[in-house]
């Protein structure tokens, strides 16, 4: 701790002791102030009764001595948090510990995804949902994919019952329409959409920002349904060391570690390691296939930042992910890889990512961003080989100019993609350069109005210029309500096989019916947010109505031919419309509650007016997170989960399985306890209701269709098909783990 802080605290303690000479009791009271579970330095603690006050140390603690027995009221406050208070009866001559957990001002949350600059969440004209990394600890998972579904309208979805890969859908649209960013840069895309979400260490994540709706005006290609921006921790403010180790009753083992190093006065380095090991084939449903893919993965992450003169900060980072996974018949071994005797889907991936941001030494705030990633994939789906390489280089320069109530953000970007695979659809290495320019204008009026307008154009070598406009309006209604409306456009250039594993998994033949054109989307939404903060509790209500129209959409057709998947631009359009509602309640301690519900209608509108419901898009879905924490013992109980209504599934003619899934819920419960020294132990149960889909794989006993043409044993002509999926095949299982966080000196 700096010497001047120690002197201030000592002087305050001396002043308190001199101001209260009449206190003759022997009781001692230690108050610990936390913010969302972490110590709050410089929090103010006031005892209303003895009229004593003090400032918390670096551990968020204040010690009061010689207090008389009797009832006392303790008030805690902090500049960035809502105040809270507790009343209790102090026993005679005893030591008492009280923990007061404060909730952050929602008005003070800073977001960057909506407008590509730091802005208070309540001032953002684009509604941004923020998920703190602390929420992930309530239902720990070995990868970000399983943790990203705690926002209404955001749905992690498995794409493959055999290899167990998945993506994240926003408003029911396929995961390829969700753009995933790391610190605002499009690092996770293409092949990384499927695999890049695996292996991001939780120790490196500060929060996740989610924007629902297209934002092609700022982020260019792939930003059609929304963005998920993974914000990594500030290297200068991260804990000195963190460790999280967990195991499950299925013999899944995961470890996550992070360490901060100060390299001089102005340079901070942060390193992270994430490992996951699951090497025990499990087949509880008895179909001869693994219920979850075997996975062995390691990920290394590094981030650094340097403070430059005039308060500017440069930052850089890199990540490596290596993974070996397979799923299939339980007696599959690496000897069977690529063979036609035992079915297995074996995927070897190696992935490198590098990114950086540098402020230029100019009078105006001008920043240069750059990133590069390389993804190598060597995989077999049964006896079908898929060998792919993808490299994406990205560079962008931004200038931010402010003049009174007017603000201009302008920039130029260039994205180069190298893609090659061994499929017939790719004749050779494809190299695509995609330059673009954009401008964004913001105006903050005197009557609490805020207007944002943006326009971007990207030049594709085959499709020419692609324009992406955006318009948004925001109004503060008093100090507790916000109303927003926005309209925007997005586009996406497709690499088919990097995104749809159904095109390779199973026995269906892939048919590309035409030269595929870029997909486009137009979306409008209206958002209303209402906050009710008091000293006793905080309540936040947030509702959004949305409508998105897709053109040139590429939809896999499972229905025309049960033995094929046909890809073509949709002759017509597709619609995603609906309502989302999110409610958050907290009384500091002991109770926190978050619940969300989504109603959506997602369908294709063909040229002849026929309406076809989107596959795997439930009309109703919801989220739930309940936390109860005992203030004195630091014992916490968490109930988290998601529930889903019926969703249409890919079936074949005369299929004995229902075309619509049932209502189901995936619930989890956890009990944890923290210690004052930074240790935490936790244990829980995942999939508490033990829900598992029935008959997820068609004809699992004949994965190579060797007896499929036998009219006696197979009168309906069924063929091996693992595409009937809508929920994980992992049933109820227990888990336990331990965490340790060393905050270190500030």
Residue 205 CA: distances (Å) to CA of 243, 342, 525, 665: 14, 40, 29, 27
CA angle (578, 580, 583) in 5-degree steps: 165
**Rounded to whole angstroms, how far apart are CA atoms 327 and 321?**
19
Three-state DSSP class for 286? Answer: coil
Q: Is position 660 within any domain? A: yes
User: Is pLDDT of 288 > 70?
Assistant: yes
Over pLDDT 70: what percentage of the chain? 84
Q: Give residue-wise pLDDT tens across range 353-363.
A: 999 999 988 88
Out of 37-41, 112-116, 690-694, least confident range: 112-116
Three-state DSSP class for 367? Answer: strand
| pLDDT recorded at residue 20 | 42
**Rounded to whole angstroms, how far apart are CA atoms 369 and 359?**
9
Same domain, 54 and 198: no
User: Is pLDDT of 536 > 90?
Assistant: no
β-sheet bridge partners, residue 374 = 352, 391
| pLDDT recorded at residue 229 | 85
Residue 503 CA: distances (Å) to CA of 107, 247, 256, 449: 46, 34, 34, 48
DSSP state of 654: T
Instruction: Check which CATH number belongs to the domain holding 119 and give it.
Output: 2.170.130.10
Q: Tell me the Ramachandran region of residue 221: left when phi exceeds 0, alpha when psi lies from -120 to 50, beta otherwise.
A: beta
> In which band, very low, low, confident or very high, does the pLDDT at 16 lie, cut at 50, 70 and 90?
very low
Q: What is the mean pLDDT of residues 270-277?
A: 93
User: Is pLDDT of 463 > 70?
Assistant: yes
CA angle (255, 352, 271) in 5-degree steps: 45
Q: Is position 670 within any domain? A: yes
Out of 162-176, 283-297, 602-616, least confident range: 162-176
Q: Give the residue from 71, 102, 133 where a domain finishes.
A: 102
Same domain, 377 and 470: yes
Q: Is position 332 within any domain? A: no
Higher pLDDT, 506 or 21: 506
| pLDDT recorded at residue 512 | 66
Is 244 within 8 Å of 202 (Cβ atoms)? yes
Instruction: Check which CATH number belongs to the domain holding 23 and give it.
Output: 2.60.40.10
Greatest CA separation for the chain: 98
Three-state DSSP class for 193? Answer: helix
Q: Give the residue from 102, 122, 155 where a domain finishes.
A: 102
Same domain, 257 and 134: no
pTM exceeds cut of 0.85? no
Same domain, 170 and 265: no
Is 420 within 8 Å of 388 (Cβ atoms)? yes
Helix (H) or strand (E) holding 136: helix 133-136
Distance of CA 144 to the CA centre of its chain: 6
Same domain, 262 and 133: no
Same domain, 255 and 210: no
Residue 382 CA: distances (Å) to CA of 120, 164, 242, 377, 499: 51, 15, 41, 16, 18
Q: Give residue-wise pLDDT tens across range 405-449.
A: 888 999 999 999 898 888 766 767 888 898 999 999 999 877 678
Q: Give the residue from 170, 199, 230 where a domain finishes.
A: 230
Q: Give residue-wise pLDDT tens across range 509-532.
A: 667 666 667 778 888 999 999 988
Out of 79-88, 190-199, 217-226, 414-423, least confident range: 190-199
Is 134 within 8 Å of 458 (Cβ atoms)? no
Q: Is position 97 within any domain? A: yes
Over pLDDT 90: what percentage of the chain? 38
Domain count within the chain: 3
Same domain, 538 and 642: yes
DSSP state of 648: B
Q: Give residue-wise pLDDT tens across range 381-409.
A: 999 888 989 898 999 999 988 888 888 99
Q: Is the peptide bond before 360 cis (omega within 30 degrees of 0)?
A: no
| pLDDT recorded at residue 489 | 86
Neighbours of 583 (CB within 10 A): 15
| pLDDT recorded at residue 116 | 57
Same domain, 21 and 139: no
Q: Is position 56 within any domain? A: yes
Q: What is the mean pLDDT of residues 667-673?
A: 96
> In which band, very low, low, confident or very high, does the pLDDT at 154 lie, cut at 50, 70 and 90?
confident
Distance spanning both ends of the chain, measured CA to CA: 7
Same domain, 180 and 248: no
Q: Is position 236 within any domain? A: yes
- The string of DSSP codes covering 138-187 is TS--SSHHHHS--STTEEEEE--TTT--EEEEETTB-GGGEEEEETTEEE
Q: Give residue-wise pLDDT tens across range 38-90.
A: 788 778 888 877 778 888 887 788 888 888 888 888 888 776 676 777 888 88
Q: Is position 181 within any domain? A: yes
Domain span at 510: 231-327+339-742
Out of 140-149, 404-413, 625-634, 661-670, least confident range: 140-149
> In which band, very low, low, confident or very high, does the pLDDT at 302 lie, cut at 50, 70 and 90?
very high
Mean pLDDT of the chain: 83
**Length of the chain counted residue by residue:** 746
Neighbours of 685 (CB within 10 A): 17
Same domain, 54 and 146: no
User: Is pLDDT of 182 > 80?
Assistant: yes
Q: What is the mean pLDDT of residues 239-266?
A: 91
User: Is pLDDT of 693 > 70?
Assistant: yes
User: Is pLDDT of 458 > 70?
Assistant: yes
| pLDDT recorded at residue 496 | 55
Residues 6+ apart with CB under 8 A from 139: 147, 638, 640, 668, 670, 684, 686
Q: What is the mean pLDDT of residues 232-250?
A: 88
Same domain, 495 and 565: yes
DSSP state of 14: H
The closest alpha carbon to 563, from 507, 513, 500, belongs to 507
Out of 281-295, 626-640, 662-676, 725-739, least confident range: 626-640
22: tokens are 């009449």
Out of 418-432, 561-575, 662-676, least confident range: 561-575
Instruction: Check which CATH number belongs to the domain holding 733 and give it.
Output: 2.40.170.20
Q: Is position 334 within any domain? A: no
User: Is pLDDT of 606 > 90?
Assistant: no
Phi, psi of 316 (to 5 degrees): -150, 165
Higher pLDDT, 193 or 52: 52
Q: What is the mean pLDDT of residues 621-638?
A: 87
Q: What is the mean pLDDT of residues 245-260?
A: 94
**Rounded to whole angstroms, how far apart are CA atoms 47 and 701?**
71
Q: Give residue-wise pLDDT tens across range 586-597.
A: 876 688 899 999
Q: Give residue-wise pLDDT tens across range 484-493.
A: 999 988 887 7
Neighbours of 203 (CB within 10 A): 26
Burial class for 563, CB neighbours closer than 10 Å (0-12, 13-18, 19+) = middle
659: tokens are 């075309």
**Rounded to whole angstroms, how far apart are CA atoms 97 and 208?**
34
**Rounded to whole angstroms, how far apart are CA atoms 722 and 116?**
41
> In which band, very low, low, confident or very high, does the pLDDT at 1 lie, cut at 50, 70 and 90?
very low
Q: What is the mean pLDDT of residues 328-341?
A: 94
Same domain, 725 and 664: yes
**Rounded to whole angstroms, how far apart are CA atoms 391 and 416?**
8
Phi, psi of 194 (to 5 degrees): -85, -45
**Rounded to whole angstroms, how far apart are CA atoms 636 and 589?**
10
Secondary structure E strands in 534-634: 538-551, 564-567, 572-586, 591-606, 611-613, 620-629
CA angle (659, 664, 669) in 5-degree steps: 155
User: Is pLDDT of 501 > 70?
Assistant: no
| pLDDT recorded at residue 75 | 82
């Amino acid at each position: 701790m700096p010497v001047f802080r120690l002197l201030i605290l000592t002087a305050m303690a001396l002043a308190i002791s001199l101001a209260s000479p009449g206190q003759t009791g022997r009781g001692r009271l230690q108050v610990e102030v936390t913010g969302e579970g972490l110590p709050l330095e410089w929090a103010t603690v006031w005892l209303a009764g003895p009229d004593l006050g003090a400032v918390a140390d670096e551990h968020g603690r204040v010690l009061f001595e010689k207090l008389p027995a009797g009832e006392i009221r303790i008030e805690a406050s902090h500049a960035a948090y809502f105040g809270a208070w507790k009343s209790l009866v102090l026993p005679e001559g005893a030591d008492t510990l009280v923990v007061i957990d404060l909730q952050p001002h929602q008005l003070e949350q800073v977001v960057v995804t909506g407008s590509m600059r730091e802005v208070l969440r309540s001032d953002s004209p684009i509604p941004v949902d923020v998920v703190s990394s602390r929420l992930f600890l309530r239902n720990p998972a070995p990868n970000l994919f399983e943790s990203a579904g705690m926002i209404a309208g955001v749905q992690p979805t498995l794409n493959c019952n055999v290899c167990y890969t998945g993506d994240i859908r926003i408003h029911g649209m396929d995961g390829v329409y969700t753009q995933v960013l790391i610190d605002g840069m499009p690092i996770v895309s293409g092949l990384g959409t499927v695999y890049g979400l695996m292996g991001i260490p939780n120790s490196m994540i500060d929060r996740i920002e989610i924007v629902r709706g297209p934002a092609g005006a700022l982020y260019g290609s792939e930003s059609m349904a929304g963005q998920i921006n993974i914000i990594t921790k500030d290297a200068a403010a991260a804990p000195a060391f963190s460790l999280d180790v967990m195991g499950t009753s299925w013999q899944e083992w995961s470890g996550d570690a992070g360490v901060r190093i100060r390299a001089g006065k102005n340079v901070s380095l942060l390193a992270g390691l994430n490992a996951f090991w699951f090497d025990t084939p499990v087949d509880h449903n008895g179909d001869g296939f693994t219920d979850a893919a075997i996975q062995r993965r390691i990920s290394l992450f590094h981030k650094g930042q340097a403070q430059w003169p005039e308060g500017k900060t440069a930052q850089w980072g890199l990540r490596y992910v290596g993974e070996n996974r397979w799923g299939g018949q339980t007696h599959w071994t690496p000897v069977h890889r690529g063979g036609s005797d035992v079915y297995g889907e074996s995927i070897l991936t190696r992935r490198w990512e590098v990114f950086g941001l540098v402020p230029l030494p100019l009078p105006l705030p001008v920043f240069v961003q750059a990133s590069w990633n390389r993804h190598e994939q060597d995989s077999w789906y049964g006896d079908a080989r898929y060998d792919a390489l993808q490299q994406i280089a990205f560079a962008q320069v931004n200038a931010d100019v402010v003049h009174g109530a007017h603000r201009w953000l302008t920039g130029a970007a260039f994205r180069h993609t190298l893609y090659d695979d061994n499929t017939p659809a790719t004749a050779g290495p494809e190299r695509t350069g995609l330059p673009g320019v954009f401008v964004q204008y913001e105006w903050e009026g005197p009557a609490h109005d805020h207007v944002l307008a943006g326009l971007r154009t990207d030049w594709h070598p085959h499709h020419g210029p692609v324009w992406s406009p955006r318009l948004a309006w925001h109004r503060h209604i008093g100090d507790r309500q916000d109303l927003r409306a926005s309209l925007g456009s997005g586009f996406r250039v497709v690499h088919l096989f990097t995104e749809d594993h159904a095109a390779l998994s199973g026995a269906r033949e892939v048919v590309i019916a035409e030269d595929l054109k870029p997909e486009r989307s137009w979306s409008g939404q209206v958002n209303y947010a209402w906050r009710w903060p008091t000293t006793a509790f905080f309540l936040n209500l947030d509702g959004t109505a949305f409508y998105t129209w897709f053109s040139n959409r590429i939809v896999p057709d499972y229905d025309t031919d049960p033995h094929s998947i046909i890809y073509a631009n949709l002759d017509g359009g597709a619609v995603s419309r609906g309502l989302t509602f999110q409610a958050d309640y907290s009384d500091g301690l002991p109770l926190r509650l978050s619940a969300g519900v989504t109603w959506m209608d997602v369908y294709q509108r063909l040229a002849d007016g026929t309406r076809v419901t989107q596959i795997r898009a439930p009309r109703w879905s919801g989220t739930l997170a309940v936390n109860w924490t005992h203030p004195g013992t630091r014992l916490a109980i968490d109930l988290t989960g998601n529930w889903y209504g019926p969703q249409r599934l890919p079936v074949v003619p005369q299929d004995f399985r229902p075309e619509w899934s049932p209502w189901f819920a995936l619930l989890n419960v956890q009990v944890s306890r923290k210690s004052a020294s930074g240790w935490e132990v936790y244990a829980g149960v995942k999939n508490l209701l033990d829900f598992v889909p029935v008959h997820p794989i068609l004809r699992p006993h004949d994965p190579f269709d060797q007896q499929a043409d036998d009219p006696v044993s197979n009168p309906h002509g069924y063929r091996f098909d693992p595409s009937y999926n809508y929920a994980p095949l992992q049933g109820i299982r227990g888990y336990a783990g331990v965490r340790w966080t060393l905050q270190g000196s500030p």
